[in-house]
Each structure stands twice: as structure tokens, then as C-alpha cells.
């Protein structure tokens, strides 16, 4: 029952047909509580062709082994920790894993500095608590508690941003698979299929470093930045297409050439070296992840559709790129100017891009 | 009584494949042969029995080398690890007391290259070196080892895989367009296979009824083929021969990874060794070992980690549809669980376990060239064990054992065997301490065998080598370096020859710069000789001669130098000055100072040199008019560039000298203070140039000293009315002066 006006449907809604198809063809054993077998989950993530000839679109473009380790981890009822710099599809992978394994990606706790213990364990409906005293009815379940009861996958975003004491409430849940409720003298025991997928950003690691007790209850998968330009262009083009559809932007042929150019700029600045390996560059303070490239292209598309001639041009992306690169107004601007003058200017086929960038910066 | 027909079993194997090794072991136990033929050089037949010696520990290799020296010197290796099928076959045969023979083409023939053998296209080379890899690719695997693991290694029991392998190889050989291979290579292959068949025929003729042949899978169809004996004989008739000797040498796992006489190497010898030796539960044992390795590096890894890693590895294997977790799965599990996603510890595991460096050993009875034997005796005497892992060793040359060790290492270096590499800084700390890094590499055995041409003992060979080096040396500094090495290695026998060459060369060498470059090394050698108790008589004579020549040749050599040449010459002057101070010979020092003083007054001397010489003489107390000279050097008449160079030369030696030498500081301070206002502006940039080169801390220290220069320092406060007793102070002052190398006041 997907509402068509929803800005961003959940993975299990958007890919409901693919999930159904996979389930239909899935004749391998499924772990208790799983909607699909581990093989089918891997296929769902990495894409592939079903025996019937239907094609499953790839959700993650990157090393196959990483997804295999992630799925195998969940199959051993261990918790999974996805690490990586911002924009390496951690959340994306976690959402799709939860959708494929448990059919529900909404049992989500967002970690922030203000995340309280109640958000992880349970809270109280205070009106009821005062009126009736402690009772099951007065209890407000956290997404985690609900996942335990149902035997499905709970997600925790930005685990390291939570205060350490809140993080540590996870230890009992992960090791003994139980959540005691001392006020009612009961407990919630997790049913088979319960597991946790957490994501954390390893660039600002040390915000609230995980205790080693908690750390060892997770298997860790580090998601890398895309290996090659082609991979990254592929990721960006795919996501931009999906987003464009969801935002109902007027059709604009997202020029692959323009996407490649944005990706190249990002990769060169990120890696601190021009693509031909001849020029050394300074790296700006921002992460310049694939996710940012996607948003630059998407906003460029919107610009082109609404204010331009409907074709994605250098001028449409220039503003976005400068905004993404120049995070620190002083040092990053120097980096950007240097890059513009030493690398971009030397490329004859990039002349339009150079002019566009000069105008906005 | 009619004899049963002879039975021949051919086992096609993957070299260094633990699966093959296991399969060969099982097949041999079942078949019970009365003779075993193995792919390898038949010249090794007489020494194969050594493999049964308890002192023989794999990895080891058969080494074939040409014993006489000359241009055509070659060496080839056939390495064996514990998990090599050939090794298992050898061990089986020796344990059963049946003949074990090698059936490949003799190394004597292989050492003579066939025409056109060198050039072979890459693609065909691959299919030849790695036929199983080609099959694995056909089966849809990207990694031959993995395919082999799945098909052979992870099968439990079941029928022997060898008939199937033979069939597959026959098919592969048929498909491969043999004509496209270069003719020379093809002929060599035919010869090798003909020799294998001939050895097999001969073995059967000797009356062996059950013969097992262990050879690379590729050769199986050829060995089984029915070819008339006459045809093979024709092929092998009249092949050119080289002189060849064979022996066993220790090998390392790291070297197994490279290509060898057997073709493709293995990438993970440690893992294979583990698979072959682990009695059961290989995954659990491996991950436990990995956890231990991490703990040794103080990384916290608990048993709970290991349990989870094993579960993950097994689940991954199931997910990937493999019968058992392989190295890939285990590594993923190690990374995700034991190392918590970090890459660095994974690399540690890779180095220590997956490759798993280890050095084999060969028994004492192994044939060795006399030089090797001598080295072994020395190693035992000095308790220096060769090891494949790098080790730091500090030697105190005042102890006899350490001194002998140092000499042995130096001698080996002369022979080109860099078992020990001296660390730097040893000289700075003092002359009696040396630091060495010891790593034994298998190729050293080859170098020892080559060095066998020089002599039969390490001492004798090194002496001969040093004499030859001295005879070949092109320039004087090369010669002095040889002399220094001779002294370090205590090669008294070589010294006269080296010194003669040195004296001859010094006499005819007209370039004083050469002589000056040679002197410091020789003086150092003299000093070493003192520490090491080496007789240095002849060396002393050479040094004396050199010092005189340098002093005589100094003035003409220093004339008309440009900036670069002056700078280089200055280095030589400093070196010689330092060397002569080290030597501490009054006569030489006096002659040197006189030469410098004479040089100083020569017109046309480069500013840099003049400044430096003025300073050297000032330090020696030989320059009464230094203030005047200084003023003259930077006065209006002097070109600015020359003045700058003069100041630079005069103040060289770093800012610290100014901090500590009060007199010098006063001198300079007085000079600057006395400059007229106009000149000061001219001199300022020159000074800035010199002082700018000093470290900031030094400049600050100098500045502070200058500020307190006028204020009488506490130590000097009582200079007028001090109560020092000159009589009591005299001995101490004399000693201090003697140490400083100044003249003792009468």
C-alpha cells in the first residue's frame, strides 16, 4: 500500500516486485525469521538474473565479498557493523539488507548525541504510568524491542554518535538476546531472526568510540569508496535516475559525460592527484563522497529542467560542485582555485566547465 | 612360473599442492610400488637418500650448479616443501626401502640451452606452467588453487583423482596447438618426456614390477604413451653436456612463492603447510593461530572472537557454495571479526601465517663445497645460526667471540655473501661497537658455491678475493676501501699485496684530491687496527707516505679553483684535517699546519678556502694577526662574493662553535663593532647569509651570549685575584691540552 505521493518510499516498497520475484524463485533453505535465503539476499543486493529471465537490479556496486560477509554475518545471528567514510552507502546497504532479510527496514534508531536510553530500550507513556502504575500498556517500545519481539532486523544509524552509556545498553541485547524490564519484573526475549545492523562513520571515529565489549559483539565490514571511475559513474548515474523519478523532475537526459566530469573532479580532489597521475593536488576538507556527487548532479538536473534548456550543462553543476568542495571558505577556496587553474584549465574539452566555474566562484 | 605383468601408475600432480601431496601419499600407500620415479634431475639419485635423514627439514631444494668457474656458470633449483607431492613420494619410497629415482632430463643437458628456447609467447607459457589453472578456468573458477582445493583437497577419501587428471590432460594436450610453440622449447619438452619414458623402461627392465611415477600433470599422457624405445634413444643421442654437481640446500617459504625450476610457485605456502600438517579441524586451528599471532602484537583477541570467526567463515563458505572454508573465507572472517575491519592486522597475519616464513635445514652429510663446510664450522664455533627472519645483532669488539663474529661477517661480505649488513651509527658511538642485521637467504648458498673458486676456507677465499680486488681497483679511494675492509675482516695475508698496490698507485697518482680522499679511510683503518689488534705496520708506512705527499701537493692543487671545486676541496681539507688529528702524530700535524700557513698567503686563493684556513690556523694558535686579516678580507677592495665566501669559510662548523668558543665570539663581536658605519651596511648581507644557515636555536643562543659578553661572566669574575694554585692545576691542564692535541707547555 505504497502512497504514490511519498517523497521517498522504503526499500521494501520500492523494490517490492523484485523481492517477491526472488522469494518465488528461492528454493534454498532460509534461516529462521528470514524472508529470503542468504543467496537470494546476496542476489538482491548485487543484482543478477533469475531463472525465469527477470533481472534484479544491483543495489550495491562494489566488491562482492563485502556483501557476502555482511549476509553471512547476519545468518550467524551476529550483529553487523558497517564502517566507512560518509557517503559510502552504509545506510543504503543497511536499509536494503533489512528489507531483504526481514521485509521491514523501518525499525530504526537514529544515533545522535541526544539519543537516550529510552530510544534504545523502552520508554513510558507517563499519563498511563501515573494513572495505572507500571503495566505492559504503559510501556512504549523502542524499535529495537519491537524487532526482538518480531524476530526481525533492527537498524541503528550512526552508532558512534550515541553517548557511550547508551551504546552499552546494547551489550546485553546483543549477547544474551534479551531485554529485561525490571519495573514489570519481566523481559523480552528475542525471537529467532532478530539481529542488528549498525552504521558508523570512521572518519570522525572517536566521537564516542565503541567500548571493546560492544565492539566484539559486532562483525565489522568496512565499505570502501568506489575503486574505479567507471564504478562511481555507474553508481551516480543509477541513483540520479532513481531520484529523478522519485522527485518527478522533468525528463532531462542526464548526460553521462557531465556525470563523468563531476565524478572525475571529486575523485581527483579526494585522491590528491590528477587522473593521469601527473599533477599533485591539495585535498579539501570535505569528504567529497559519491553521495555528494549524486546530490550535485540531482540539483544540477533540477536547475537544467526548470531554468535551463532541459539539458544538463556545465553551468548547472558548477554551483553544486563549488558548494561541495569549498566547505571552509579560506583554505578550501585556495584548493579549488589551484585545481581550477592547474588542472581544469589545461583540459581543452573542459573549457565550458572552466568558464562556468569561474563565474560562480 | 609366469610373472605377473608389470604395473605402472602415473600420478599427475600440481607442484607444491597439498591436495596432490595427500592424494599421492594415499595412492602410494595403496599401490605399494617397488620403485618410485620422480620428476627431477637424475644426477640427484646418489643424494636422494639424505631426504630420510632426520636432519633434513623442508623446505629444501635440490641445487644443480656447474662446479667450474667461467662465463657459463649456471644454477637451477628444484624446491620441496613438506606439502610437495614429490617430497611425500620421496619420503614414502625411502621409508619403504625401495629405489627412488629422478626421471627428468639430466641437468647436464638442461644447462646447455637449446636454440630458440628463450623466446616463448606468454599465453602458451601459461598453459604449460599451469595446466590445472587452465582446467579450473574451464570449470568456471578464476583461481586454480581454489578449484583444486574444491575438487581434490576438500574431498574426503573417495577414489583416486589421478585417472581423471590424466584424462583431462590428454584432452588439454590435444586441444593445445603445439605447433604454435617455439621449436626450441618443443624440442626440449620432447627430450624431457623421452627421458622420462627411457628411465621408466630401464626401471622395468631391471625387474621392478610395480612402478609409480610422480610428475607434473602436464607430462602424464606423454609418460603413458607407447613410444618405441629406438625413437626416444634417437632423440636423446648426442645431446650437448655441461659439467654439473648437485646438492641439497635449505630453502624458504618466501622463495617458494616465486617461480622455480618447477614452474608456477605458490602464493600461500604457510596456509598450505597448515592444511597439510593440521591433523583435523583446519579452520579452527588456523583461526586460533591467527588470534595468537594478534595477541603477540598486543591486540586484544578473545576466544569468543575466534568462535565467531569460525562461524562466519563456515557460513561464508556455505553461501559461496564451497565444500569447506578456504583461505579467502578465513581471511574475510579474520578481517571482519578478529581484526574488527582494520587492514593493518590483516597484513600482519598475511605475513606471519599465510606466507609463514620458515627456513629449511639439510643434514651435515649433505655434499657441500669445502667453503660451505668451513662456514658451517665457523657458524657453529661462533654460535651464529642462520635464520630467514631479520635479526639485529650488536657486537662488542672487545670480546673475542664478538670480534671473530665481526671478522666472519666482514669476510663474507668481501665474498659477496651479505648475510650480515652493518648498521650505521656504529662508528659514531665508538670504535668497539658494531650493529649488524642478519638475514640468511637461500641464494647465499649459491654465492658460496661460486665463491668456492676463491678458496676452500672463508679466510682463504676472502684473502684471495681482496687481493684480486686490489689488483683490479681503478682509483685510489677504491683501493683504500679495500684496505679498510681487509683490516675489518682481519685479512693480514692480503694486506701486503693491497698495500703494495696502494703505495704504487699513490706514487703515480698526481691528483692530490685523490690522495686526500684516500687518507681518512686509511687513518680510520689504523684506528680500527688498534681496537682489533690487527698488525698495521705496512699500513702505517702507506699513511706516512700519503700524508707527506698531500702536504707537498697541497698549494698547487688549491690554486685557481671555481666555487664548486673550492667547496669540494674544502671537504677534502676538512677530512684530512680531521684524519690527521685522529692520527695524533706530531710530525704530520706540524707539517700539515706549515702547509696550511704557506697556502694561506698565496695570492688567488679562493675566499672560502682562505677563510677556512685562517680559522684552522687560528684554532691551532698559529695566526697572530687574525683581526687584521678579517678586516682585510671584507674591506672595500674585496669583491662581495669573495668576502661572503671568506666569512662562510671562517665561520663554518656550525653556530655551536660560536656559542661555546668565547674567544672567537669576542673576536667577531669586536670586528663587527669596529666596522665603520658605511662598511657595516655592506657587510651585513654577507653575515646574514652565513648566520641564516644556522638553526634558529643556535642563533638565539649566540644572541644571548653576545648580550652577556660585556658583563663579566661569573667564571671570569675573579680572574684578577683568583686563588688558583698553578702548581696543582698544571697536571690537569696538561692532560686536557694533550687530549685536545695542543702542545704541552714545557
Q: Quote the minimal CA–CA distance from B274 to chain A in Å.
A: 24
Q: Are residues B397 and B349 in the same domain?
A: no
Note whether B417 and B522 are same-domain residues: no
**CA distance to partner chain B, nearest, from residue A229 (Å):** 23
Maximum separation of any 2 CA atoms in chain A, in Å: 76
- pLDDT of B551 over the 60 cut: yes
Please check whether residue B731 lies inside any domain of the structure: no
Cβ contact A81–B341 (<8 Å):
yes
C-alpha cell at B88: 611425500
B425 and B493 co-located in one domain: no
CB count in 10 Å sphere of residue A178: 12
Is residue B610 domain-resident? no
Distances (CA, A) of B456 to B369, B374, B448, B464, B495: 8, 8, 10, 11, 19
The domain total for chain B is: 5
Residue B425: pLDDT band (50, 70, 90) is: very low
B177 & B45 share domain: yes
Q: Is residue B723 part of a domain?
A: no
B132, pLDDT greater than 50: yes
What's the grid cell of residue B463? 684473502
List all residues of chain A from 34 to 63 with a beta carbon under 8 Å from chain B. Answer: 38-39, 42
Phi, psi angle pair for B88, to nearest 5° = -60, -40
Is B242 a residue whose pLDDT tops 70? yes
Alpha-carbon gap: B338 to the closest alpha carbon of chain A (Å) = 8
Which chain A residues are closer than 8 Å to B318 by Cβ? 38, 72
B176 SS3 class: coil
Strand partners, A139: A124
DSSP structural state of residue B105: P
SS3 B556: helix
Q: Which of B732, B743, B738, B516 is nearest to B620 (CA)?
A: B743
Per residue in B272-306, pLDDT tens? 888 888 777 888 999 999 999 888 888 888 888 89
Residue B264 is assigned to a structural domain of this protein = no
Q: How many CB pairs under 8 A join A and B?
A: 57
Grid coordinates given for B25: 601419499
**For residue A337, what are the CA distances in angstroms to A262, A267, A333, A341, B438?**
16, 16, 6, 6, 52
Instruction: Please state the rounded mean pLDDT for residues B328-337.
Output: 89
Cβ atoms of B436 and B409 closer than 8 Å = yes
| Residue range of the domain that includes B532 | 474-605
Shared-domain flag, residues B382 and B311: no
User: CB A220 to CB B302 under 8 A?
Assistant: no
Of B378, B444, B433, B373, nearest in space to B405 by CA: B378
Cβ-based burial of A206 (10 A; exposed 0-12, middle 13-18, buried ≥19): exposed
Q: Which of B256, B288, B315 is the last residue of a domain?
A: B256
Same domain, B219 and B323: no
Q: Which of A39, A68, A83 sits opposite B341 (nearest CB)?
A: A83
Nearest to B319 among A38, A218, A222 (CB): A38
* Same domain, yes or no: B252 and B283: no
Label residue B126 by pLDDT band (50, 70, 90).
Answer: very low
Please report the pLDDT score of residue B124 as a whole number: 42
**CA dist., res. B269 & res. A247, Å (int):** 55
pLDDT of residue B71: 43
Q: What is the 3-state secondary structure (H, E, C) of chain A?
A: CCCCCCCCCCHHHHCHHHHHHHHHHCCCCCCCCCCCCHHHHHHHHHCEECCCCCEECCCCCCCHHHHHHHHHHHHCCCEEEEEECCCCCHHHHHHHHHHHHHCCCCCEEECCCCCCHHHHCEEECHHHHHHHCCCHHHEEECHHHHHHHHCCEEEEECHHHCCHHHHHCHHHHHHHCEEEECCCCEEEECCCCCEEEEEEECCCCCCCCCCHHHHCCEEEEECCCCCCHHHHHHHHHHHHHHHHHHHCCCCCCCCHHHHHHHHHHHHHHHHCECCCCCCECCCCCCCCCHHHHHHHHHHHHHHHHHCCCCCCCHHHHHHHHHHHHCCCCCHHHHHHHHHHHHHHCCCHHHHHHHHHHHHHC
Please tell me which residue of chain A has the smallest CA distance to B314: A72
- Of B172-181, B231-240, B517-526, the poorest mean pLDDT is in B172-181
Residue B247 CA to residue B370 CA, distance in Å, equals: 13
Contact call for A216 and B328, based on CB within 8 A: no
Q: Is B296 inside a domain boundary?
A: yes
Q: B711 falls in which pLDDT band (50, 70, 90)?
A: low
Domain check: are B287 and B395 in the same one? no
Give the C-alpha separation, A174 to A196, whole Å: 8
Q: How far apart are CA B150 and CA B139, in angstroms?
A: 11
Beta carbons of A73 and B305 less than 8 Å apart: no
Closest to A41 measured CA to CA, from A31, B329, A51: A31
- Residue A295 distance to chain B (closest CA, Å): 29
**Cβ-contact A171, A217 below 8 angstroms:** yes
Give the residue from A40, A46, A72 with the most B CB atoms within 10 Å of its CB, the best one to mutate: A72
Residues of B in contact with A38 (CB under 8 A): 315, 318-319
Contacts of B335 in chain A (CB under 8 A): 69, 220
Distance CA B739, CA B731 (A): 12
For residue B744, being part of any structural domain is answered with: no
Distance from CA of A80 to the nearest CA of B (A): 9
Together in a domain, B586 and B697: no
Q: Determine, yes or no, domain membership for B746.
A: no
Integer Cα distance of B243 and B231 in angstroms? 26
Give the pLDDT score at A148.
Answer: 93
Candidates B316, B317, B330, partner chain A, best to mutate (most A CBs within 10 A): B316
Alpha carbon distance B406, B387 (integer Å): 17
Of the candidates B355, B385, B420, which is a domain's last residue? B355
Do the chains contact at A69 and B340, CB–CB below 8 Å?
A: no
**Residue A243 β-bridge partners:** none
**Is B332–A65 a contact, with Cβ atoms under 8 angstroms apart?**
yes
> Between chains, do A69 and B336 touch, taking CB under 8 Å as contact?
yes
C-alpha cell at B539: 699500513
**What is the value of pTM for the model shown?**
0.64
**Greater pLDDT, B312 or B76:** B312
The pLDDT of residue A254 is: 55
Q: Where would I find the H helices in B297-425?
A: 303-319, 327-333, 344-349, 370-382, 400-414
- Regions in chain A scoring below 50 on pLDDT: 1, 205
Distance between CA atoms of B301 and B469, rounded to whole angstroms? Answer: 55
**Which of B454, B484, B503 lies at the terminal end of a domain, its last residue?**
B454
Q: Per the structure block, which three cell numbers stand in for B695?
A: 638553526
Write the pLDDT tens digit of every residue in B385-397. 888 777 788 888 7
Place of cell 657587510: B683
CA of B317: which chain A residue's CA is closest?
A: A72
Q: Which residues of A touch B307 (CB under 8 A)?
A: none
Is A361 touching B (CB cutoff 8 A)? no
Residue B456 has pLDDT above 60, yes or no: yes
According to DSSP, the β-strands at B210-216 and A178-181 are unpaired
Contact residues, chain A, for B320 at CB < 8 Å: 68
Closest CA to B218 of B255, B260, B179, B174: B174
The verdict on A75 touching B (C-beta cutoff 8 Å) is yes
Determine the Cα–Cα distance for residues B513 and B561; give it in Å rounded to an integer: 12
Distance CA B230, CA A33 (A): 73
Instruction: Return the sign of the alpha-carbon dihedral for residues A118, A123, A126, A131.
Output: negative
Rg (CA), chain B: 37
Q: What is the b/e burial string over A27-37, where b = at least 16 CB atoms within 10 angstroms of the residue's CB?
A: eeebbebbbbb
Cell matching residue B270: 604457510
Pair (B546, B657) in one structural domain? no
Q: Which three cell numbers stand for residue A242?
A: 532513481
pLDDT at residue number B145: 67
Query: What pLDDT score was predicted for residue B178?
Result: 63
Mark whether B106 and B167 lie in a shared domain. yes
| Whether B657 contacts B664, CB under 8 Å | yes
- Based on the domain organization, do B199 and B232 belong to the same domain? yes
**DSSP per position, B285-328:** HHHHHHHHHHHHTT----HHHHHHHHHHHHHHHHHTT-SS--HH
C-alpha cell at B77: 633449483
The verdict on residue B271 lying in a domain is no
- B508 or A49, greater pLDDT: A49
Q: How far apart are CA B515 and CA B507, in angstroms?
A: 10
Q: How far is CA B598 from CA B329, B578, B594, in A?
A: 80, 19, 6
Under 8 Å between Cβ of B406 and B395: yes
Q: How far apart are CA A45 and CA A20, in angstroms?
A: 14
Res B24: pLDDT: 87
Using CB atoms, pick whichever of B311, B319, B341 lies closest to residue A221.
Answer: B341
Amino acid at each position: 500500500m505504497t502512497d504514490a505521493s511519498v517523497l521517498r518510499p522504503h526499500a521494501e516498497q520500492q523494490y517490492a516486485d523484485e523481492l517477491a520475484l526472488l522469494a518465488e524463485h528461492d528454493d534454498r533453505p532460509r534461516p529462521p525469521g528470514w524472508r529470503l535465503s542468504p543467496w537470494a539476499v546476496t542476489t538482491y543486493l548485487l543484482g543478477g538474473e533469475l531463472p525465469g529471465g527477470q533481472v534484479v537490479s544491483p543495489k550495491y556496486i562494489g566488491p562482492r565479498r563485502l556483501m557476502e560477509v555482511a549476509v553471512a554475518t547476519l545468518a550467524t545471528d551476529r550483529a553487523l557493523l558497517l564502517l566507512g567514510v560518509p557517503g559510502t552507502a552504509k545506510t543504503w546497504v543497511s536499509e536494503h539488507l533489512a528489507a531483504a532479510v526481514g521485509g521491514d527496514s523501518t525499525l530504526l534508531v537514529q544515533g545522535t548525541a541526544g539519543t537516550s536510553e529510552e530510544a534504545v530500550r523502552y520508554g513510558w507513556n507517563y499519563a498511563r504510568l501515573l494513572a495505572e502504575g507500571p503495566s505492559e500498556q504503559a510501556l512504549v517500545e523502542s524499535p529495537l524491542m519491537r524487532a526482538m519481539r518480531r524476530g526481525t532486523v533492527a537498524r541503528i544509524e550512526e552508532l558512534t554518535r550515541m553517548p557511550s552509556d547508551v551504546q552499552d545498553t546494547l551489550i546485553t541485547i546483543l549477547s544474551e538476546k534479551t531485554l529485561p524490564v525490571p519495573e514489570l519484573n519481566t523481559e523480552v526475549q528475542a525471537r529467532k531472526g532478530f539481529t542488528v545492523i549498525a552504521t558508523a562513520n570512521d572518519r570522525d571515529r572517536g566521537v564516542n568510540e565503541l567500548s571493546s565489549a560492544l565492539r566484539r559483539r559486532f562483525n565489522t565490514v568496512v565499505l570502501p569508496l568506489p575503486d574505479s571511475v567507471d564504478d562511481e559513474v555507474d553508481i551516480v548515474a543509477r541513483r540520479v535516475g532513481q531520484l529523478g523519478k522519485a522527485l518527478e523532475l522533468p525528463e532531462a537526459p542526464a548526460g553521462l559525460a557531465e556525470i563523468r566530469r563531476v565524478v572525475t573532479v571529486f575523485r581527483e580532489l579526494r585522491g590528491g592527484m590528477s587522473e593521469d597521475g601527473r599533477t599533485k593536488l591539495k585535498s579539501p576538507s570535505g569528504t567529497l563522497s559519491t553521495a555528494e556527487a549524486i546530490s550535485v548532479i540531482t540539483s544540477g538536473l533540477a536547475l537544467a529542467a526548470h531554468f535551463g534548456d532541459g539539458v544538463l550543462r556545465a553551468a548547472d553543476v558548477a554551483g553544486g560542485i563549488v558548494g561541495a568542495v569549498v566547505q571552509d571558505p579560506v583554505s578550501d577556496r585556495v584548493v579549488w582555485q589551484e585545481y581550477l587553474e592547474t588542472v581544469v584549465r589545461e583540459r581543452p574539452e573542459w573549457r565550458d566547465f572552466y568558464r562556468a566555474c569561474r563565474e560562480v566562484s | 612360473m609366469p610373472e605377473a605383468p608389470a604395473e605402472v601408475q602415473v600420478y599427475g600432480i600440481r607442484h607444491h599442492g597439498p591436495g596432490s601431496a595427500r592424494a599421492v601419499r594415499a595412492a602410494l600407500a595403496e599401490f605399494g610400488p617397488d620403485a618410485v620415479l620422480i620428476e627431477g634431475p637424475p644426477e640427484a639419485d646418489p643424494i636422494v637418500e639424505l631426504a630420510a635423514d632426520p636432519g633434513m627439514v623442508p623446505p629444501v631444494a635440490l641445487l644443480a650448479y656447474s662446479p667450474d668457474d667461467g662465463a657459463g656458470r649456471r644454477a637451477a633449483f628444484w624446491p620441496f616443501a613438506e606439502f610437495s607431492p614429490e617430497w611425500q613420494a620421496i619420503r614414502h619410497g625411502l621409508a619403504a626401502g625401495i629405489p627412488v629415482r629422478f626421471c627428468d632430463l639430466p641437468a647436464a643437458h638442461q644447462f646447455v640451452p637449446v636454440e630458440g628456447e628463450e623466446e616463448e609467447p606468454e599465453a602458451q607459457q601459461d598453459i604449460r606452467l599451469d595446466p590445472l589453472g587452465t582446467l579450473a578456468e574451464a570449470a568456471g573458477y578464476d583461481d586454480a588453487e581454489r578449484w583444486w582445493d574444491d575438487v581434490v583437497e576438500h574431498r574426503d577419501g573417495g577414489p583416486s583423482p589421478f585417472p581423471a587428471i590424466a584424462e583431462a590432460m590428454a584432452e588439454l594436450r590435444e586441444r593445445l596447438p603445439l605447433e604454435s610453440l617455439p621449436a626450441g622449447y618443443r624440442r626440449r619438452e620432447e627430450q624431457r618426456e623421452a627421458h622420462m619414458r627411457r628411465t621408466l623402461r630401464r626401471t622395468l627392465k631391471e625387474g621392478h614390477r610395480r612402478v609409480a611415477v610422480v610428475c607434473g600433470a602436464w607430462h602424464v599422457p606423454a609418460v603413458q604413451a607407447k613410444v618405441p624405445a629406438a625413437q626416444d634413444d634417437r632423440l636423446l643421442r648426442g645431446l650437448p653436456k655441461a659439467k654439473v654437481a648437485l646438492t641439497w640446500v635449505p630453502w624458504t617459504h618466501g622463495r617458494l612463492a616465486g617461480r622455480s625450476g618447477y614452474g608456477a610457485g605458490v602464493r600461500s605456502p604457510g596456509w598450505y603447510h597448515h592444511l597439510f600438517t593440521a591433523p583435523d579441524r583446519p579452520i579452527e586451528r588456523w583461526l586460533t593461530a591467527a588470534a595468537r599471532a594478534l595477541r603477540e602484537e598486543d591486540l586484544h583477541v578473545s576466544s569468543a572472537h575466534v568462535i565467531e570467526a569460525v562461524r562466519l567463515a563456515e557460513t561464508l563458505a556455505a553461501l559461496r557454495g564451497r565444500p569447506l572454508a578456504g583461505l579467502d573465507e578465513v581471511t574475510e572472517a579474520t578481517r571482519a571479526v578478529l581484526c574488527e575491519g582494520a587492514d593493518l592486522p590483516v597484513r600482519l597475519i598475511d605475513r606471519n601465517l599465510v606466507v609463514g616464513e620458515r627456513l629449511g635445514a639439510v643434514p651435515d652429510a649433505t655434499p657441500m663445497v669445502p667453503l660451505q663446510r668451513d662456514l658451517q664450522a665457523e657458524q657453529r664455533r661462533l654460535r651464529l645460526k642462520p635464520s630467514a627472519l631479520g635479526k639485529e645483532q650488536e657486537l662488542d669488539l672487545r670480546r673475542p667471540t664478538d670480534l671473530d663474529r665481526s671478522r666472519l661477517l666482514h669476510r663474507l661480505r668481501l665474498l659477496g655473501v651479505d648475510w650480515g649488513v652493518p648498521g650505521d651509527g656504529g662508528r659514531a658511538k665508538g670504535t668497539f661497537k658494531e650493529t649488524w642485521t642478519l638475514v640468511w637467504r637461500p641464494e647465499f648458498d649459491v654465492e658460496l658455491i661460486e665463491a668456492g673458486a676463491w678458496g676452500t676456507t672463508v679466510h682463504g677465499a676472502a684473502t684471495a678475493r681482496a687481493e684480486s680486488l686490489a689488483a683490479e681497483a681503478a682509483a685510489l679511494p677504491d683501493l683504500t676501501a679495500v684496505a679498510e675492509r681487509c683490516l675489518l675482516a682481519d685479512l693480514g695475508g692480503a694486506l701486503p699485496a693491497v698495500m703494495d698496490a696502494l703505495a704504487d698507485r699513490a706514487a703515480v697518482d698526481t691528483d692530490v684530491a685523490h690522495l686526500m680522499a684516500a687518507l681518512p679511510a686509511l687513518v680510520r683503518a689504523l684506528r680500527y687496527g688498534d681496537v682489533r689488534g690487527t698488525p698495521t705496520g705496512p699500513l702505517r708506512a702507506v699513511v706516512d707516505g700519503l700524508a707527506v705527499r698531500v702536504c707537498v701537493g697541497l698549494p698547487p692543487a688549491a690554486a685557481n679553483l671555481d666555487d664548486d671545486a673550492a667547496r669540494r676541496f674544502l671537504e677534502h681539507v676538512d677530512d684530512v684535517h680531521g684524519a690527521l688529528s685522529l692520527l695524533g702524530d706530531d710530525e704530520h700535524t706540524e707539517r700539515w699546519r706549515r702547509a696550511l700557513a704557506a697556502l694561506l698567503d698565496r695570492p688567488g686563493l679562493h675566499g672560502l678556502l682562505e677563510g677556512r684556513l685562517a680559522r684552522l690556523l687560528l684554532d691551532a694558535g698559529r695566526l697572530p694577526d687574525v683581526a687584521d686579516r678579517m678586516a682585510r678580507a671584507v674591506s672595500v677592495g674585496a669583491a662581495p662574493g669573495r668576502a661572503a665566501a671568506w666569512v662562510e669559510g671562517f665561520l663554518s662548523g656550525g653556530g655551536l662553535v660560536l656559542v661555546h668558543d668565547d674567544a672567537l665570539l669576542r673576536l667577531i663581536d669586536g670586528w663587527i663593532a669596529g666596522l665603520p658605519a658605511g662598511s657595516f651596511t655592506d657587510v651585513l648581507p654577507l653575515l646574514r647569509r652565513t648566520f641564516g644557515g644556522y638553526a634558529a636555536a643556535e642563533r638565539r643562543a649566540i644572541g644571548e651570549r653576545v648580550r652577556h659578553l660585556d658583563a663579566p661572566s661569573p667564571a671570569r669574575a675573579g680572574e684578577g685575584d683568583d686563588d688558583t694554585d698553578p702548581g696543582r692545576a698544571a697536571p690537569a691542564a696538561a692532560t686536557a691540552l694533550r687530549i685536545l692535541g695542543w702542545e704541552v707547555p714545557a
